[in-house]
Amino acid sequence: MKIFFAKKFRKNYNRLDIRIREQCDERLRLFASEPFHPLLNNHSVEKRFPDCRSINVTGDYRAIFKQQNGVVVFVNIGTHSELYS
């Protein structure tokens, strides 16, 4: 599986506190090895983000991604309220 990061994801990631970035890095490594690990709570967010899914980074932070033909593109990251309101 190839993983890429959209410009918006990189921009929002760089704004995060270092502890959140470290947690995100851990979750992305887990995602790369086991995309449906229970800690990730990998689920569809089709209603808000068409053709996308979400994984949990922390209790409040989520990473949104699209997957097609074995390529994953993380498109955004933020708190639940930032992403869904």
41: left (phi over 0), alpha (psi -120 to 50) or beta: left
30: left (phi over 0), alpha (psi -120 to 50) or beta: alpha
- Say what the pTM is: 0.94
From residue 44, alpha-carbon distances to 15, 19, 20 in Å are 25, 26, 22
Q: What is the pLDDT of residue 81?
A: 95
Pseudo-torsion of CA 66, 71, 75, 77, nearest 10°?
Answer: 90
Q: What is the pLDDT of residue 85?
A: 85
The domain made up of 2-84 has a fold known as YaeB-like fold (3.30.2310)
Q: What is the pLDDT of residue 44?
A: 96
